[in-house]
Amino acid sequence: MKKSLSIVFALTLVLPLAAFAQGTLKIGTVDMQRAFKEYNKTKEAEVKINDAKNAAKKEYYDRAEAYKKSLDEINNLNKQLESAALSADKKTQIAKDRDDKIASIKRMEQEISDFRQTRERQLQEQLMRVREGIVKEITDVVVEKVKAKNLDLVLDKSGMSINGVPVVMYAPDNVDFTNDVISALNRPGRAAASSGKASTSSSVTPARASKP
């Protein structure tokens, strides 16, 4: 099994290299990170995500303020209980009010903790959905350009290897078509047109998928 795997791997290397040696392999590069940042939809999504974060922060702040107010009320009741001038009945009533508020504030603590965890998860899920959708749109446009240019291989210039060095160490400027991709993404009317029809599947895939 190991031998056969080695043969398959060798063939995958020999065929592209042979094509390259013959001058028939057409290579292109694209900066996926730059395309992601300069896509208008990314900027619009960032505004919506930030609005959602600010709304969550405000709601958390309001809950925290209500918690602080209840805590101050409990401390005030404790001070009242220290007064020697209070009758036994009055102390009993104040103690009951304090205990009720303590039970209430414990529920508030749990609610605040649950709220924070739930909002963080919801925001993270929203961010991932938006990100995946945008990357899918960019990839679709890249595939369109690959077909139009009849390319055999496309590399992501922004991609990094596991060693922390750029995957594309060097490529001539004339093989980069990032500007074409960004122009196509930001073309007026494209967003409305793309939302009105389903994306078509393609057998062409990037050589290396990297998240911006």
Identify the pLDDT of residue 188: 87
- Token representation of residue 81: 């209980």
- Token representation of residue 131: 């990100």
pTM: 0.65
Q: How many Cβ atoms from other residues are within 10 Å of residue 168's Cβ?
A: 19
What is the residue extent of each domain of the chain?
21-195
In order, the DSSP letters of 156-170 are ETT-B-TTSSBS-S-
**CA–CA distance, 147 with 141 (Å, rounded to integer):** 10
Identify the pLDDT of residue 140: 94
* pLDDT, average across residues 142-160: 91
C-alpha distances out from residue 105 to 57, 99, 117, 180, Å: 20, 10, 18, 58
Identify the pLDDT of residue 137: 94
